[in-house]
Structure 1
Amino acid sequence: MDIETQVIHGGNQEDPLTGAVVPPIYQTSTYHQYELGGEAAYEYTRGENPTRFALESVLANLENGQYGYAFSSGMAAISAVMGLLKAGDHLIIASDVYGGTFRLVHQILAPLGITYTAVDTADTSAIQAAMQENTKLVYLETPSNPLMHVTDIRAASDVAHAAGKLVVVDNTFASPYNQRPLELGADIVLASGTKYIGGHSDVIAGYVVTRSKELADQIKLIQLSVGAVLSPQESFLLQRSIKTLALRLERHNDNALEIAKFLAEQDQVAHVYYPGLPGSADYEVARKQMRGFGGMMSIDLQPGLDTKYFVEHLKLFTLAESLGGVESLIEVPAVMTHASIPREIRLANGIKDELVRLSVGIENIEDLKEDLRQGLAAL
């Protein structure tokens, strides 16, 4: 099935007990066990819940994997995958990785004896050069947050697998509608379900999908042991939102491409970071491995212009963190999403203080252009 059909019919989209087209919310913490010491399909919702199981099967289907696990946030999902590491292991991450991921690696994992190297993962030779004997994971974020760099997942996976390393891809910016990392060689795909999967800025969630039974068993153990599972209510909301994923992403893709072209023509804008622009260094790779270029982009204003004034005086683009909702959002990474990264590291990796990140929603395109036009003109 094409993904436009998968979002409606893929996975367990109905209740096996009653045939209800929409799986019910099993709002329970525990289950009646009819035989002491007997085997029960459901014992405790931290481990098993029908509503979450239904969502997990849909997510695995969308990412073309076999095993899916839903978590209470995107960072909980990332933490679960990082739980595959132990003291003495080495990790390769992208130099412009999301600030929350960097904070986890730098402030939580590093003191536990897990080392890391940050490189431009769009350069496979840089990944190769960063390999160490104790490297276990190559963690890719593509398109990256916030500079929109696109890593060739197939090429990076080939390099990593040749050295016996695992490849993990954060698919948050693309979503399974635009990109399927497991089909390109990745071992694990994860994402913040808060973003395009949820799509309405009303759910915090994350997920992990793999095709490997061995990796799945490890992730399941971490999910059960740590307990950062998605609740039945959020699982229900996420599965509901998935049904419109294809429709929403088609509009996000179209709107963002138009906005990127529009901003590239504005005198107040020095640079647009968007892989859908033919002049972008990431364009060819993105076109090869992505169905659409996504709804995310970043811009540099011309030197001397007041970034704070610009983001505070837009009317439709809401100044807020997060992304992927139906409404358009705007933020300044250095102050907001990437503030946890030391400034000297941010600057060295191209994340300037004046960088502005946009999440383009599904509003009328002319209204969005007019909002940006008046905001830029006010500068």
Structure 2
Amino acid sequence: MFNVDNIRKDFPILSRKVNGKPLVYFDNAATSQTPQQVIDVIVDYYSNYNANIHRGVHTLSQEATDKYEQARQKIQAHFNAKHAHEIIFTSGTTHGINLVANGFSSLLTKDDEIIVSALEHHSNIVPWQMLCERTGATLKVIPMNQDGELVISEFDNLLSDKTKLVFVNHISNALGTINPIEYIIKQAHLVGAAVLIDGAQSTPHIKPDVQALGVDFYVASAHKMCGPTGQGMLYGKEEWLKKLPPYQGGGEMIAEVTFEKTTYADLPHKFEAGTPNICGGIAFGAAVDYMNTIGFDNIATYENELLQYATDKLLTIEGLTIYGTSKHKTSVISFNLDGIHPYDVGTILDKLGIAVRTGHHCAQPIMDFYSIPGTVRASFAFYNTKAEIDALVEGVKKAKMMLI
């Protein structure tokens, strides 16, 4: 049975106070908190078998290698990748996107087109702009509407035999909108285009099946999923990963090196140059285990309750506007109070122990669309409570009273 009070006991940080008030942590879209079960795995690594991997014959190296590769297999199973070597460990979502963008530099020409959406995080915009600068390819944008949804009919119009790549996020970090990626993937494949899905915001809430989706690339970050920072993963179909050149050169990613020629290692090592974040990879696997013990169906049901409860409560505040009103969204609410800068609201909430994010959330095109400088973003996780939402609502009311 899902019991939020018991779950909260797994997270040591939730018992601390901020500015003399109990911490209310609503910045989960930026980074989630870490349960003791994952913290223990990190401590165990550095306490008992800290060693480099894949290279040593000694016991510690073998233990570390086994744990690291077991974590890769856990992530393969979680995302239902066909092969473990289709899971590339990265430093995070941004690293994974840049790896793919760099690889396509040798595959695109000035006559090609690539498509991105108006709902993207800067990490899923800037690398593709850089790719277009290198290759001469043209970047096209799927527009959004006032509800914060993609205009899919315009996506259909943008597709052509010139389209080589399509990039969209699964869920918008700024608005919480869940994009229709199944349709986008299917339509893109009809014109022969590859698809990369940014799963940074989806993977804390749902369990993507990359084979069922048929997606070519899927990227995610551990720190959004109760894991450590500096760790993520890129899923890529084997045939695509074999086509792409290595992203970085160095140790581990080679088969043989001479001064005349270097040959590259097989997948996944071809894309994992240098000593990796060994502890991070192992802890990522532990975080996936933890979230699966909670159950993603349970997570989705409970977080939807929080979303509806918070939406109804916040909308009772006169002058409050919510941005991103799609019927298909996850537990993120971006809002503003009329005539008040979001930074000022966030500052007052912090004095009350309530952590929210303010600003453009690395999604300036979305803010430009609404003609606003930014929003206050409250993002909920499965360890949050309705009582915490009540505290948020009272805090927003206090901020309004103080700032108007």
Q: Which residue of 2 aligns with 1:325?
A: none
CA contact (8 A) 2:113 2:163 kept: yes
> Does 2:402 align with 1:377?
no
Q: 1:110 aligns with which of 127, 132, 153?
A: 132
Distance 2:274 2:141 in 1: 27
- Taking a change above 3 Å as real, the CA distance of residues 26 and 73 of structure 1, as seen in their structure-2 partners, is same
- Taking a change above 3 Å as real, the CA distance of residues 159 and 224 of structure 1, as seen in their structure-2 partners, is same
Q: With structure 2 as the length reference, what TM-score do the two structures score?
A: 0.66
- Taking a change above 3 Å as real, the CA distance of residues 32 and 56 of structure 1, as seen in their structure-2 partners, is closer
How far did 1:252 drift?
Answer: 4.3
> Does 2:225 align with 1:196?
yes
CA deviation profile, 1:259-303 (whole Å, cap 9, x unmatched): 233223322421253xxxxxx4x32xx4xxxxxx5333322x243
How far did 1:162 drift?
Answer: 1.1
Q: Which residue of 2 aligns with 1:297?
A: 333
**Ranges in structure 1 where 5+ consecutive residues have no aligned partner:** 1-21, 35-42, 274-279, 287-292, 319-327
CA deviation profile, 1:213-248 (whole Å, cap 9, x unmatched): 212434694463573874111112222222221428
Amino acid at match of 2:369: N
Q: Which residue of 1 aligns with 2:315?
A: 264
Distance 2:245 2:66 in 1: 15
Amino acid at match of 1:255: L
- Taking a change above 3 Å as real, the CA distance of residues 264 and 196 of structure 1, as seen in their structure-2 partners, is farther
- Taking a change above 3 Å as real, the CA distance of residues 104 and 178 of structure 1, as seen in their structure-2 partners, is same
> Does 2:73 align with 1:27?
no
Distance 2:379 2:352 in 1: 8
How far did 1:69 drift?
Answer: 1.5
Distance 1:357 1:305 in 2: 14
Q: Which residue of 2 aligns with 1:214?
A: 239
Instruction: State the identity %.
Output: 13
Between 64-73 and 184-193, the greater mean CA deviation after superposition: 184-193
- Taking a change above 3 Å as real, the CA distance of residues 57 and 115 of structure 1, as seen in their structure-2 partners, is farther
- Taking a change above 3 Å as real, the CA distance of residues 350 and 91 of structure 1, as seen in their structure-2 partners, is farther
How far did 1:141 drift?
Answer: 0.7
CA contact (8 A) 2:176 2:330 kept: no
How far did 1:151 drift?
Answer: 2.1
Amino acid at match of 1:28: N
Q: 2:344 aligns with which of 309, 312, 327?
A: 309
Distance 2:140 2:65 in 1: 38
CA deviation profile, 1:292-331 (whole Å, cap 9, x unmatched): x5333322x243123222111114887xxxxxxxxx7422
Distance 1:373 1:105 in 2: 42
How far did 1:140 drift?
Answer: 1.5
Q: Which residue of 2 aligns with 1:14?
A: none
Q: Which residue of 2 aligns with 1:224?
A: 270
Q: With structure 1 as the length reference, what TM-score do the two structures score?
A: 0.70
Amino acid at match of 1:294: T
- Taking a change above 3 Å as real, the CA distance of residues 351 and 230 of structure 1, as seen in their structure-2 partners, is farther
Distance 2:307 2:275 in 1: 33
**Ranges in structure 2 where 5+ consecutive residues have no aligned partner:** 1-43, 145-149, 248-268
CA contact (8 A) 2:359 2:376 kept: yes
Q: Which one has more relative contact order, counting CA pairs under 8 Å at least 6 apart?
A: 2
> Does 2:153 align with 1:120?
no
> Does 2:124 align with 1:101?
yes
Q: Which residue of 1 aligns with 2:375?
A: 355
How far did 1:29 drift?
Answer: 5.5
Between 82-91 and 97-106, the greater mean CA deviation after superposition: 82-91
- Taking a change above 3 Å as real, the CA distance of residues 176 and 194 of structure 1, as seen in their structure-2 partners, is closer
Distance 1:317 1:102 in 2: 35
> Does 2:170 align with 1:142?
yes
- Where 2:125 maps in the other structure, the secondary structure is helix
> Does 2:210 align with 1:185?
no
- Taking a change above 3 Å as real, the CA distance of residues 64 and 260 of structure 1, as seen in their structure-2 partners, is farther
Distance 1:30 1:101 in 2: 32
Amino acid at match of 2:79: E
Cα-Cα RMSD: 3.4
- Taking a change above 3 Å as real, the CA distance of residues 160 and 52 of structure 1, as seen in their structure-2 partners, is same
CA deviation profile, 1:129-188 (whole Å, cap 9, x unmatched): 222433211111122231333321222122111111112211221217515252233222
- Taking a change above 3 Å as real, the CA distance of residues 137 and 185 of structure 1, as seen in their structure-2 partners, is same
Distance 1:226 1:209 in 2: 13
- Where 1:169 maps in the other structure, the secondary structure is strand
- What is the 5 A alignment of 1:41-80? 49-66=65-82, 67-80=86-99
| Length, aligned pairs only | 311
CA contact (8 A) 1:314 1:372 kept: no
Greater radius of gyration (CA): 2
CA contact (8 A) 2:343 2:376 kept: no
